[in-house]
Amino acid sequence: MMPFNYARARDPADAVRLAAGRTEARFLGGGTNLVDLMRESVEVPKTLIDVTELSQEITARDDGSLLIGAGVKNTTIAADRRVRERFPLLARAILSGASGQIRNMATVGGNIMQRTRCYYFYDESARCNKRTPGAGCDAIDGFNRIHAILGASPACVATHPSDMCVALAALDASVHTVSATGHRTLKLADLHRLPGDTPHIETELAPGELITAVGIPPCSFATRSVYRKVRDRASYAFALVSVAAALDLTDNGTVRDVRIALGGVAHKPWRAEKAEAALRGGQATEASFQLAADAELKEARGLRHNAFKIELARRTLVACLAELSRRDEK
């Protein structure tokens, strides 16, 4: 690990001030991802700005929305009664990730901004357009079992590994930030970018822009939701495919509203808008679920080792919707 400076931010403005003009500064959350990457020399920050003590609160509003401070630990969110009641899929998504110890350290901001688990991104000796723009990508023809099937580019086939973000994407969450140029709010689903030709630019955040909180708008039917994660061992593995879904049915079984996001399939948490559109207003049947999955996955492309994910995503999505529709009938 290379030597670095360490500073603890007193408040968000202080954090922004400390980061201003320092392209090699990084905000430090729990460090469960950043410090690992520093050990591997993938990240070589000159300055770490510790933001873990900022905004540790979860605020509930009467309209059913929640505002979660960026410094809140993953464990805290998953254990929060309001989260569990209003947005159970979020608690489930978080609990399916990493391990108890890591979740105790990991923050909301860090979870959102965590970087891909692509093996070639981690290995200094491999070519990676994220680490060295223009270097090439060794994953495309290498081990790509865990890689993207949607929205990938010839420059990068990496995925975003977060479980929490998949639930947040389904919940229409927004991300509040502050930077030298002021405050702004983005939709979480728009925060992460597809790789295109610039896979090293992973989000819409400007350098030095700090996430202060995540807002989740009211969603009455999120109480009927699931998060299902499919992985290579029963625990402590990243998602090969995950599905976050919530379904709102009328009494006669028509889809009034639906939210779907997929994880493990793309460079970002993948809001399945096509599937949602295909379902909205139609009958909730196995056949319509199949069609919705087809609509979403039509453009999915497999590589040598990950083509199975297309079928896996289809099946998992259909099974999740079927489960929700059955649950609704009760």
Partner 1 sequence: MSVSHKSVGFQARKSTAGVAGGKPDAEHPVGEPLARVDGPLKVRGKARFAAEFALENLTYAALSYSTIAKGRIASINADEAKAAPGVLLVLTHENVSRLSPPPLFPEGAAGSTLPVMQDASIHWNGEPVALVIAESQEQADRAARLIRVTYEPEIAAIEFETVRAKAKAPKNILGEPTCIAIGDAEAALAQAPVRIDNIYRTPRHNHCAIELHALTAAWEGDALTVHDSTQMVHLTQKTLAKVFGVAEQKVRVLAPFVGGAFGNKSIWNHQILAIAAARMVGRPVRLVLSREGVFRETGGRTLTEQRVALGANADGTLAALIHTGIAGMTAHNDCPEQFTFPARHLYAAQTFLLSQKVAELNIVANTFMRAPGEAVGTFALECAMDELAEALNLDPIELRRLLEPDKDPVSGLPFSQRSLIEAYRRGAERFGWQNRSPVPGARSEGEWLIGQGVATATYPYHRFPGGVAKIRLSADGQATVQMGVHEMGMGTATVQAQYAAELLALPVECVTFEYGDSSLPSGVVAGGSCQSASIIAAVNAACEALFDELLKLVGHKSPLTGLIRTDVEAYRGGIRHRRDTDRFQSYVAILNQAGKDVLECEAPASEPSEAKRYSMHSYGAQFCEVRVNTVTGETRVSRWLASFDTGRILNARTAASQFRGGIIMGIGLALTEETFFDERTGRIMNPSLAEYHVPVHLDVPQIEVMWNGSPDPQSPYGVRGIGEIGITGAGAAIANAIYNATGRRIRELPITLDRLL
Ligand X SMILES: Cc1cc2nc3c(=O)[nH]c(=O)nc-3n(C[C@H](O)[C@H](O)[C@H](O)COP(=O)(O)OP(=O)(O)OC[C@H]3O[C@@H](n4cnc5c(N)ncnc54)[C@H](O)[C@@H]3O)c2cc1C
Which residue from 203, 201, 205, 200 is spatially nearest to 192, judged by alpha carbons?
203
Residue 119: how many other CB atoms lie within 10 Å: 18
Which residues from 4-43 bind ligand X, rule CB under 6 A? 26-34, 36
Residue 313: how many other CB atoms lie within 10 Å: 27
Residue 308 structure tokens: 């199975």
Q: Which does 78 bind (CB under 5 to 8 A by kind): partner 1, ligand X, none?
A: none
Q: Which does 174 bind (CB under 5 to 8 A by kind): ligand X, partner 1, none?
A: none
From residue 48 to residue 77, the character string flagging contacts with ligand X as x (rule: CB under 6 A) and all else as - is: ---x------------------x---x---
Those residues whose C-beta lies under 8 Å from the C-beta of residue 230, and which sit 6 or more positions away, are: 239, 240, 241, 242, 264, 312, 316
Backbone φ and ψ for 90, nearest 5 degrees, come out as: -70, -45
SS3 75: helix
Residue nearest to ligand X (CB): 110
Those residues whose C-beta lies under 8 Å from the C-beta of residue 178, and which sit 6 or more positions away, are: 12, 13, 16, 209, 210, 212
In the complex, least distance from residue 116 CB atom to partner 1, rounded to whole angstroms:
12
Binding site for partner 1 (CB under 8 A): 1-3, 39, 41, 117, 119-120, 123-126, 138, 141-143, 145, 230-237, 240, 308, 311-312, 315-316, 319
Query: Is the CA virtual torsion 168, 169, 173, 176 positive or negative?
Result: positive
In the complex, least distance from residue 220 CB atom to ligand X, rounded to whole angstroms:
26
Residue with smaller CB distance to partner 1, 57 or 286: 286
Residue 329 CA from chain centroid, whole number: 30
Residue with smaller CB distance to ligand X, 101 or 250: 101
In the complex, least distance from residue 158 CB atom to ligand X, rounded to whole angstroms:
14
Does residue number 89 form part of the binding site for ligand X (CB under 6 A)? no
Q: Which does 208 bind (CB under 5 to 8 A by kind): ligand X, partner 1, none?
A: none
From residue 174 to residue 213, the character string flagging contacts with ligand X as x (rule: CB under 6 A) and all else as - is: ------------------------------------xx--
In the complex, least distance from residue 194 CB atom to ligand X, rounded to whole angstroms:
19
Does residue number 102 form part of the binding site for ligand X (CB under 6 A)? yes
Options 69, 88, 109, 195; binder of ligand X; rule CB under 6 A:
109
Residue 180 structure tokens: 């030298």
Residue with smaller CB distance to partner 1, 77 or 118: 118
215-243: buried (b, 16+ CB within 10 Å) or exposed (e) per residue? bbeebebbebbbbbbbbeeeeeebbbbbb
- Angstrom distances, CA of residue 40 to CA of 11, 29, 122, 141: 30, 18, 7, 23
Binding site for ligand X (CB under 6 A): 26-34, 36, 51, 70, 74, 97-98, 102, 105-107, 109-111, 113-114, 161-164, 210-211, 238
